[in-house]
A and B are shown apart, each in its own frame.
Chain A
């Protein structure tokens, strides 16, 4: 199908003045290929089916509106022993970062990997992203592959003793950041990857993760609490036999957030869990979780657990799909997306989907929108718990199932405390 003229024009306009960063041969090829694909596909438009509930204007426009991330994001996971990789306004800051030497991982800055003529990242950069374009277009990710200016390539060869922490900071409130990370876990290895903060006033972040047989990747991502930011993220994963991928995202505030999670289960007995909590207050909050999990192997287990707390005309979106290919027998797929509306103005739009071509599978999905349980609220108050505190308690109870998706108790506890603080401030 030919690209509609309006889209072709908009894409052309957006690309004016944008050039592929100078790289070595393999990276230039990958980026040029992405640019060609982007021109053929066009940038997303609010009339696209996949963007029905979320207007991509803030993510694709030529203008970046300033953000307040500079002032609002506070350090997190300080008590955790970890190796920090710090990006300031989307640029890796080696001086601020920890020494990246850690047994069991090799870390290369994307720009260095791409300057080389040969690098292992060649087999992944833009590759999982390309695979993730089928059956749904994800043009923002293609744009990222073409134009990303920085990022890290992480090769996991063992079981490092501590997590890696990609930490985003800002020194300017108008930064427009495009980052691309590649993570390759060899068979039987393990990594905990923390990704925190808001990269820029506007950010486009892609993470490609190859989780080989028997490997485990834990990804925990608190996205900060800036109000005016616009964020698009894509996590593309390929998950092998008996491998595990768990990813959890917390978003507090955010004018425009679109988090896409795309996982292909290609090995038998694999486990993929993706969870998220977002809390938003006000009409300038729009948060979209879009998930696509493909089962293409036996006995796979996938869970999608998303909870949203919305008030004052805030909008939450969930589009989640479980695709079970023919032959992916014994698949166990679970999907739940729920929102708690703290008043009548807030809205939650959900599109849960199952597409199943195997006959021996157990898949379930559910989506609910509800308010605080008045009976429970009165019960708590009758015991002396003030209304605001009782509401917070009930809200945290609502969020518990999603927070339980975080394997590390200490991390979960810290995110829970942050949520409690937010709820107290927005009561």
Chain B
């Protein structure tokens, strides 16, 4: 057998070294297992359980009826960029030029890829938290850069410690990538800590890439937009989305806002690779900004009820569980079971048909934790807790 590929007639490796070296998701077998089961209560998702609010859907349907099916400007529809600029000014007091500093993308996913490709030279380092969203290290690696991962811990509320960043900075460091509120931990960074990080960015002349896709999903506190910290707008690329706040994951729409040069560079790649974000999704996003506020408020109020109930439920079972102040994830410490994250997730699925994601999927230091998404109907959450309890009781040490 040819070591490089399955096809005997092809001698050269089919896949580039860069992509070949990218670690595959470590939970493949878990997916396969899931596919063969039904009646599973899944806390393994990363999206709202709501369908997109109707008035947002309706605006897109109407636009299709009117025949708005063509490309838009590469940057995105001017009305959408304008509305977004208004939104950012209203919410954070930030002023962005709609023609040069805002780019509408195919989700934060694309924005993340674009920004990495736009700013990274070979072997440039990007400092980031871990456990973190799976795309962070991948985006850096795919751009030829080196992710430098800083472990965060339950003890420190899964917050990025400024001292750890300081210690990780080298002459090759190009940017700090910060993702708060965090997937998978639900952690939110307090403003003072973000201000310290701002100081480090300033001192070492670093860019800050801030993924704030969960900005609207914070509970009992205010989200701090990194770019709104004094002096930070000029070195921050803000990545924002519609997927989570407006329950629009399938629309594939998001944005980046930042310094003109970086947005121009990102736009170049965007232009050559996707032309523009889907037009109907842009229409929907515009409606979301204009008329989606009440729906967001209602959904957030509901997530908060589930959050309080679910975290209490986990603690009542005996888990140590950090209180997540943002996003819609709980990240309990499964230490009381003596199992590894993968073992726990796999056995829980097999024995009790509850799907959670092993913490290790988000980085090695996620070992000992699992990610549970509580964006699920209350009766299902209660049932999931009952099953987890039964599961734990059998093997408590």
Partners in one complex: no
B interface residues with partner A (beta carbon < 8 Å): none
- Chain A: residues with CB nearer than 8 A to chain B? none
